[in-house]
Amino acid sequence: MKNKLRVGILFGGKSAEHEVSLQSAKNVYDAIDREKYEPVLIGIDKSGRWLLNNESRFLLNADDPRRISLNPSSDAVALVPQGEGAIANLSAAKNNNENYGFRAVDVVFPILHGPFGEDGTVQGLLKLADIPFVGSGVLASAAGMDKDVMKRLLKEAGLPIGKFRVLRFGEEIPTYEETCAELGMPVFIKPANMGSSVGISKVHNRDEYLPAIKNAFEYDTKIVSEEFIPGRELECSVLGSPYDSSEIKASVPGEVKPNREFYSYDAKYIDENGAVLTIPADVPAETAERVRELAISVFKTLCCEGLARVDFFLKENGCLIVNEINTMPGFTRISMYPKLWEASGISYTELIDKLIELALERFKKEKKLKTSV
């Protein structure tokens, strides 16, 4: 019988999206094909420690999005550089146990959202550890996470984006009047490097302006102010490999109708009634096709690999504006990425399988590249 591939499910992390990652990991763990894969659960706690989790109880309060947490009673582990997927048991080493409990994984699925996971940091570590991993590499992960860099690259490529301005910590804060003149009002103020609507404020008036800037700076040293674009919120999932552009596919588009001021963190991951998701979106066929074309263009422009979700605004006049890309979108049971693919004919389990295949394919191609003259 063919040996099962060991898939390291890497989840948690130091970011403000820690709990989202836990929910995503639970869903992937539950859905992965056990006939083909042996999941190995590697949780990262909020201090950054890597823990090899017991499969029977790796989460606490797993069914409560508000109280879900990583089980801390696990062995501390670390990936071994150039170890081809070897995981060292640090707890055994600390206790002077000669058997460090090395265990190997064949591929890693880093279900990490936000900084310290989706921003290229873990991707670089996995490359140093010489192990295949699902999703984009260092460049696309970093560019996709940084809303400033992402927007500048999309603008350079001629893709439609909204007006924005950037403010770095320590720079003089533009006055409320200056921001109104440049971007209009209301305006969104958000950390440049964060996802899941964490740290975002929708500013309507002068009283909300400075508190919103202060709030965003709590999560990043660079923040972005964006014009409010009235219109419908559409999302599209992308799947494929940069090594074969003809195989990069886009799902049917879906529409998000928030029941709140905007599509907030709670609406995305906690409150099942926080938004109405319409899949497929009720738009003309030509609009749906344009969404798919633009999603693939964004994916290619940012050098993405494996998966991504691209978000749009559809204005009343039919014009589409690219809002942002998410290179490791949520995999929770109410997340758009897997739901869009399910509506496009790819089940949750099949989607996981395809992403692992793409990771292994990329790794094989990269291993053939020369690293010296």
Q: Which residues in the chain land under pLDDT 50? A: 1, 263
Same fold for the domain at 5-133 and the one at 164-227?
Answer: no
At residue 90, what is the residue type?
A: L
Sequence ranges of the domains in the chain: 5-133, 144-160+230-367, 164-227
Instruction: Please give the full DSSP string across 257-302, using - where no structure is assigned.
Output: EESSSS--HHHHHT-TTSEEEESS-S--HHHHHHHHHHHHHHHHHT
Q: What is the pLDDT of residue 341?
A: 97
- Output the pLDDT for position 266: 54
> Which one is the CATH code of 5-133: 1.10.760.10, 3.40.50.20, 3.60.130.10, 3.40.630.30?
3.40.50.20
Distance CA 176, CA 209 (A): 7
Distance CA 145, CA 168 (A): 16
pLDDT of residue 1: 43
Q: Which CATH architecture has domain 144-160+230-367?
A: 2-Layer Sandwich (3.30)
Q: Residue 210, SS3?
A: helix
| pLDDT (tens digit per residue) in 115-159 | 888 999 999 999 988 899 999 999 999 999 999 999 999 999 999
Query: How big is the CA angle at 254 (ends 297 and 327), to the nearest 5 degrees?
Result: 45
> For residue range 45-99, what is the model confidence (pLDDT) as tens digits?
999 999 888 776 788 888 887 888 888 877 888 888 766 777 877 765 555 555 5
Task: Identify any residues that bridge with 306 across adjacent strands, giving them in sequence order.
Answer: 240
In 112-163 the beta strands, taken as DSSP E runs, fall at none
Q: How far is CA 5 from CA 80, 109, 231, 237, 308, in A?
A: 19, 12, 45, 26, 24
Tell me the C-alpha distance between 43 and 62, whole Å. Answer: 14
What pLDDT is stored for residue 268 in this prediction? 52
| Domain spanning 164-227, CATH class | alpha beta
pTM equals: 0.90
Q: Rounded to whole angstroms, how far apart are CA atoms 19 and 70?
A: 9
CA distance 180 to 184: 4
